[in-house]
Structure 1
């Protein structure tokens, strides 16, 4: 019979294998069911894996193992946006409808500095799931801390694609320009 320490090590190896094999996010509860442990044990295992520099991120859709990127780096751009809570869905749809991934959201907190949350939204379905999870958990948007001002790191296969999305965001009045 394996020692508890060995069992934990084997479980983390199995979690890593599952995450590496999946191209989709996997929820902590799903991993807990597969491993026959509590979700809290999975949270601890994921933290330990991250501490060993495994590129795992937690998103609203679940855990993702960040695979090695292709040699050609995607285009990225950091944008500053401001809008009401009610306009969030339209902002996110506007971005993903152009084939742009919303990698994260950041707000500048007066005490904690930059607070960043991974989003990795790539489609309307991802946006709908994110917004449903916010509603279901009664969580608030990070931008409520900053009167609607927030930043998104955008990613696409070319800068032209990002620029077209930004033009639409600008036309809707969501992008902040210098001095605003």
Structure 2
């Protein structure tokens, strides 16, 4: 890949990466960051790991790297929901959530050997849901829920409680949401 950015060294590059991630409220690919800083994608991976080691809240999503603002910074309400569905209902589940203005932050399962397993999703719209599902299909990957016969948790974030309540009602009607009672 042709580098268009001037090569930035060491700590200055990591500060630049952090600044770029904080400026954008959407994921940025390692290749984009590499191009902007004039280094390889492998160098970016190392830099991101160094930043994470400093407890800087950066996560890797299927769309790229994302700086995680606290829910308070984003003025969002978070909730963890429990879902149970077949693999074929994954798209329906995620679309119900994002159609209500909800960000699906992650998916988690409780594995009998490894304990809690959590993976970042960070999907907020249908395009991101489609990208996630396409990547699953292209890589022939399993869903975490496949490990637990379909039962899993999602941490979701929404601008208000009403959005979560409406989404939960629709998920329940679709037979996806596990009743808390």
Task: Calculate the TM-score normalised by the size of structure 1.
Answer: 0.88
Consecutive unaligned residues of structure 2, counting only runs of 5 or more, are 1-7
In the TM superposition, what whole-angstrom CA distance separates every residue of 1:107-147 from its partner, at most 9, and x where no partner exists? 11111111111111111111111111212222221111111
Q: CA 1:38 to 1:51, structure 2 compared with 1: closer, same or farther past 3 Å?
A: same
**Please, which of 63, 86, 92 is the counterpart of residue 65 of structure 2?**
63
Distance 1:56 1:153 in 2: 17
Between Structure 1 and Structure 2, how many residues are aligned?
A: 174
- Give the aligned partner of residue 3 of structure 1: none
Consecutive unaligned residues of structure 1, counting only runs of 5 or more, are 1-5
SS at match of 2:9: helix
Aligned pairs for 1:104-143 (under 5 A) are 104-143=106-145
Aligned pairs for 1:1-180 (under 5 A) are 7-67=9-69, 70=72, 73-178=75-180
Distance 1:72 1:125 in 2: 21
Distance 2:36 2:150 in 1: 39
How far the C-alpha of 1:33 sits from its partner, in A, is 2.6
Distance 1:24 1:72 in 2: 13
In the TM superposition, what whole-angstrom CA distance separates every residue of 1:61-106 from its partner, at most 9, and x where no partner exists? 1111124555684222211111111110011101111111111110
In the TM superposition, what whole-angstrom CA distance separates every residue of 1:13-39 from its partner, at most 9, and x where no partner exists? 221121122222101122123333332
SS at match of 1:89: helix
